[in-house]
Amino acid sequence: MKSLVTYLFIFFSVACFAQKDFYGKAVYQSKTSFDLEQWNNREMSEQQKKRIMERMKNMLEKKYVLQFNKSASIYKEEEKLEAPGRGGGFRFGGFSAELQYKSITDKKFLEEREFFGKKFLIEDTSEMPQWEMTGETKQIGNYVCYKATMLKKTDEFDWQNMRRRGRGRGRNRDGGKEEKKKDTANVKKVTEDIEMPKEVLVTAWYTPQIPVSNGPGEYWGLPGLILEINSGKTTILCTQIVLNPKERIEIEAPTKGDKVSRDEYNKIVKKKMEEMRDMWRGRRGRNSRR
């Protein structure tokens, strides 16, 4: 009975807006957890760890704006000025999109990225995401949200889910180190030193009160705007919504950059990473012989 009420509510919410010229803006806060111990090769003091994590904050905590209508959207990181003395933070150029465009009607996706000073326009097409509805609900702000889940294949350079190979160590009850067993069938190799899971569980919370099949980043395909995403180590939460603002929002596909497919772009990045790794090893080798 509960499921029937849920789907009737979704149906009538979408129907109410079907004839409207509907558009709006949603602000999202993204936060990614990071295990410094896994990537560290030396012992550090708590003060050193705190200083490094503070420098990484601009990479791990970001603010995005989604501008949307019924058929398309633009998702872009909100630009912010660094406070005096706070510059020099870590940045992963090339691993994060500067701008993402989604056309729901023709399932076309475009991403603007800059890698080593060169602009790229990555073009993708996608099938309808295979969400599983759970019937669970919760309140986010003024909106009733419904839960949906799916298993998502990771992109080769999804840095949020990367980890060092052979560094999955934990602590046993006696305080000693123990190696965590890995299911290698579910892990893929990115480089000789880095790996990631082939799939991650994604949990979405969407609201039929805003009947657009859209959401932050690459997420879409539900009968309502997605207000929260939990994927691997990352949580994306909507903090503000403005519907039908007085100033009309125009959604246009980006055009800047060399147009490439996802596979082509990943090959470019992988080749450059391997070049940088070989260059770094060569320098270390020369320094050790001095």
Domain that holds residue 144: 2-289
pLDDT of 30 reads 93
Successive 10-residue mean pLDDT values, the chain, 290 residues: 48 46 90 67 64 67 93 88 49 66 92 91 88 96 97 75 56 41 61 72 96 94 97 93 85 93 89 81 62
2-40 pLDDT, tens digit per residue, is: 444 444 444 444 444 444 578 899 999 999 887 655 555
Closest C-alpha to 217, from 66, 35, 12: 66
Tell me which long-range contacts 35-44 makes (C-beta under 8 A, separation of at least 24).
Answer: 35/163, 37/169, 38/163, 38/164, 38/167, 38/168, 38/169, 39/164, 39/167
Closest C-alpha to 196, from 235, 150, 160: 160
What's the CA angle centered on 66, arms 110 and 102, to 5 degrees?
Answer: 25
In terms of Cβ atoms closer than 10 Å to its own Cβ (0-12, 13-18, 19+), residue 238 is: buried
How many domains is the chain partitioned into structurally?
1
CA dist 127 and 106 (Å) reads: 10
CA dist 6 and 137 (Å) reads: 9
Closest C-alpha to 170, from 158, 178, 181: 178
